[in-house]
Amino acid sequence: MPCPPTRFPRTDVAASFGEAVKGARKTKKWTRTGLARRVGVTRQTIIRLEAGRTKPGVQLVRALTHPSVFGPLPGLDWDLPARDALPWGFLARLARRGSGQKLRQVAEKAGCSTATLTDFERHVLYDPKILGIRHDRVGERYATALGFEDSDDMFAFLVARDATPWLDRIAAKFNQPRLANALRPSLRPAEPVLEIDLNT
């Protein structure tokens, strides 16, 4: 699963994560080489990870925790976004469009450049002025610039199954019409949708 280049909280990966990977690999009776091929890294990377000599980046964690590899593994103190979740940048763009503000206006209020905000909305850039110091929160200035009450309110919007109440509230706050249904995110399923193998 492709992942944008964002800052990753490697410090949140427990030292025991490598042991969990090793245990899961042995349970499946895979070799280190076989696992490395499945997740797109070298055998040496798997050896270092299992020995606790390195902490994985987000791409490797996503690959290892993918349902076709190991699924959820112990040793992580944070949750990866659900496979069906919309990117935060896309949702933030919907909130900005719902407020009727231009990129330049929000960027000035948030204290970042228009280019930085554009890259964030395209889900290709992490910036601490937008998301705060940690990757799992939202910056206060950015949240209020978009029309949220505070950063916690925006964070609730970003992880909600249905973003409609927030989008409607923002539109009303800025005296804007509701976003057209075509622009609204659909409800995220409560449970992951099972993949169907069309090859059988």
Residue 27: other Cβ atoms inside 10 A: 9
Question: Contacts for 177-186 with beta carbons within 8 Å, 24 or more apart?
Answer: 178/98, 179/94, 179/97, 179/98, 183/94, 183/97, 184/94, 185/86, 185/90, 185/91, 185/94
Residue for token pair 């112990």? 74
> What mean pLDDT comes out for the span 11-32?
87
Q: Locate all alpha helices (DSSP H) within the chain, ordered by sequence.
A: 17-27, 32-39, 43-50, 58-64, 88-99, 103-110, 114-121, 128-131, 140-146, 151-159, 164-173
Structural domains for the chain? 13-64 (1.10.260.40), 88-183 (1.10.260)
pLDDT of residue 53 exceeding 50, the answer is: yes
pLDDT tens, position by position, 133-149: 544 567 888 999 999 99
pLDDT tens, position by position, 63-89: 787 777 887 887 665 554 444 456 778
> What mean pLDDT comes out for the span 182-197?
48
Structure confidence at residue 117 (pLDDT): 87
Percent of the chain whose pLDDT exceeds 90 = 26
The more confident residue out of 56 and 46 is 46
pTM of the predicted protein model = 0.51
Q: What is the mean pLDDT of the chain?
A: 76
Least confident interval from 7-11, 54-58, 174-178: 7-11
